[in-house]
């Protein structure tokens, strides 16, 4: 692919990692970088600590959280009836941006599972996440480190601006490991029903999953296990965001005349400099995913009336990006 490699993450700082592990042991919250987005971590085996995640995010208590583990040995600790397909996917994509949903073992208490009979497991690749898991020596429950429904953080600064660090904020410690190299949340595959199902697309693509499993991986039916990432409105900036086809951009901007519009579009479609606040859309799916949430945070910060995003190209490799944009978007106001 034409994707430029992500900048290497700064090496984990051993003193900070030790402090973070101590915070987790004491039942506190640590925001930490993963390769996808920053996570809001708590000791997975301490229900009281996991409870704090929900309070800090303002997240409904019946939403499950992903358990982050150091390696595939954790599959049999947290899940039962682990199918061969799950082991193959773990072997191919772990550590990496893939979450496996499996039938839960007793270790997976109700706050982790949202009261369902499944558990989500992910083995992150980011050096800071791995250093933290190793120093803490136990699994870490972590959703994305944002307020419920908001854009996920891909920089420590995003977490500071949203949840904040104590005493003024809600997180005990925010680790800064640089920008997240993948940029959108992990691909989630449900393997709890005998047939693999895609719960959330990501940069591990459907085609890659199908190639490894040798069978189709269709979308999960909509009422399948609750996943907040599957809510229609999610990952949304505060400013209303509209997703438009390239050939309707001019008409859209004309219809919104008089309003302050911020734009995310391919370079060729951007109006001359100085017209509207604008960001250039990256050209490859990997670069787009990596930049997406940072761009949305920036476009949100200009306090425009509306954000208009030109839909990226169609294509299987773009599925994760399209999914996040679709969930961030609201319909255009109807013409009067
Ligand atoms: O890349 C990621 O997955 C990031 C980083 C921090 O690891 N985490 C993340 O967590 O995106 P969160 O909570 O923001 O999104 C995880 C999604 C949620 O939609 C949740 O409902 C779903 O995974 N999930 C977790 N456990 C599940 C389960 N047992 N069954 C179905 N969905 C589950
Ligand atoms: Mg999230």
What are the pLDDT digits (tens) for 177-229?
999 999 999 999 999 998 999 999 999 999 999 999 999 999 998 764 455 55
pLDDT tier for residue 306 given thresholds of 50, 70 and 90 = very high
- Measured CA to CA in angstroms, residue 153 lies from 68, 110, 122, 204, 302 at distances of 17, 26, 18, 19, 17
Of 31-40, 167-176, 251-260, 264-273, the poorest mean pLDDT is in 264-273
Q: What is the pLDDT of residue 336?
A: 52
Taking residues 125-152, what's their average pLDDT? 97
Percent of the chain with pLDDT over 90: 86
- The ligand 1 site (C-beta within 6 Å) comprises 34, 36-37, 39, 63-66, 97, 99, 101, 113, 116, 118-120, 122, 142-144, 185-186, 188, 199, 225-229
Residue 41 has pLDDT above 70, yes or no: yes
Average pLDDT over residues 19-29: 98
Work out the pLDDT band at 9, boundaries 50, 70, 90.
Answer: confident
What is the average pLDDT across 35-59?
97
pLDDT level of residue 175 (50, 70, 90 thresholds): very high
Q: Which ligand 1 atom minimizes the distance to the CA of 65? A: 25
- Taking residues 290-308, report their average pLDDT: 95
* Residue 254 vs residue 334, higher pLDDT: 254
Q: Which atom of ligand 1 is nearest to the CA of 184?
A: 1
Q: How confident is the model at residue 1 (pLDDT cuts 50, 70, 90)?
A: very low
| Owner of token pair 């410690």 | 173
Residue from 29, 60, 63, 64 whose mutation best tests the ligand 1 pocket (most atoms within 8 A of CB) = 64
**pLDDT (average), residues 303-324:** 96
Q: How far is it, in rounded angstroms, from Cα 321 to Cα 261?
A: 22
Tally of CB atoms within 10 A around 263: 24
Check whether 2 has a pLDDT greater than 50: no
Distance 143 CA to ligand 1 centre (A): 6
Question: Atom 13 of ligand 1 has which residue's CA nearest to it?
Answer: 143
Do residues 202 and 184 touch, judged by C-beta distance below 8 A?
A: yes
Where in 140-283 does DSSP place strands (E)? Answer: 140-141, 173-174, 187-190, 197-200, 241-244, 261-265, 278-280
Condensed to tens digits (0 to 9), the pLDDT of residues 66-80 reads 999 999 999 999 999
What's the pLDDT band for 115 if we cut at 50, 70, 90?
Answer: very high
The overall average pLDDT reported for the chain is 93
**Looking at the CA of 151, which ligand is closest?**
2
């Amino acid at each position: 692919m034409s994707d430029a490699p992500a900048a290497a993450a700064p090496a984990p700082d051993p003193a900070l990692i030790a402090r973070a592990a101590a915070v987790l042991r004491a039942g506190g919250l640590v925001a930490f970088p993963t390769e996808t987005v920053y996570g809001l971590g708590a000791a997975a085996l301490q229900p009281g600590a996991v409870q704090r995640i929900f309070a800090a995010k303002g997240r409904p208590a019946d939403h499950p959280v992903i358990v982050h583990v150091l390696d595939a040995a954790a599959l049999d600790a947290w899940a039962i009836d682990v199918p061969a397909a799950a082991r193959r996917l773990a072997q191919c994509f772990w550590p990496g941006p893939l979450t496996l949903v499996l039938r839960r073992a007793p270790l997976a208490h109700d706050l982790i599972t949202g009261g369902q009979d499944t558990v989500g497991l992910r083995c992150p690749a980011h050096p800071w996440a791995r250093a933290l898991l190793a120093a803490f020596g136990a699994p870490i429950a972590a959703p994305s480190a944002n307020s419920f429904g908001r854009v996920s953080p891909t920089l420590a600064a995003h977490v500071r601006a949203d949840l904040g660090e104590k005493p003024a904020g809600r997180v005990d410690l925010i680790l800064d490991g640089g920008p997240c190299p993948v940029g959108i949340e992990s691909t989630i595959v449900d393997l709890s029903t005998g047939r693999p199902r895609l719960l959330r697309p990501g940069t591990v693509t459907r085609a890659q999953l199908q190639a490894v499993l040798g069978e189709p991986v269709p979308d999960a039916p909509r009422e399948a296990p609750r996943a907040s990432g599957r809510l229609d409105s999610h990952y949304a900036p505060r400013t209303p965001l509209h997703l438009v086809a390239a050939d309707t951009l001019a008409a859209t901007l004309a219809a919104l005349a008089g309003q302050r519009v911020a734009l995310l579009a391919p370079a060729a479609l951007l109006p001359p400099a100085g017209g509207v606040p604008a960001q250039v859309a990256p050209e490859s799916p990997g670069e787009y995913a990596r930049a997406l949430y940072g761009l949305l945070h920036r476009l949100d910060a200009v306090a425009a009336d509306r954000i208009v995003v030109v839909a990226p190209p169609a294509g299987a490799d773009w599925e994760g990006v399209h999914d996040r944009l679709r969930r961030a978007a609201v319909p255009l106001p109807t013409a009067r």
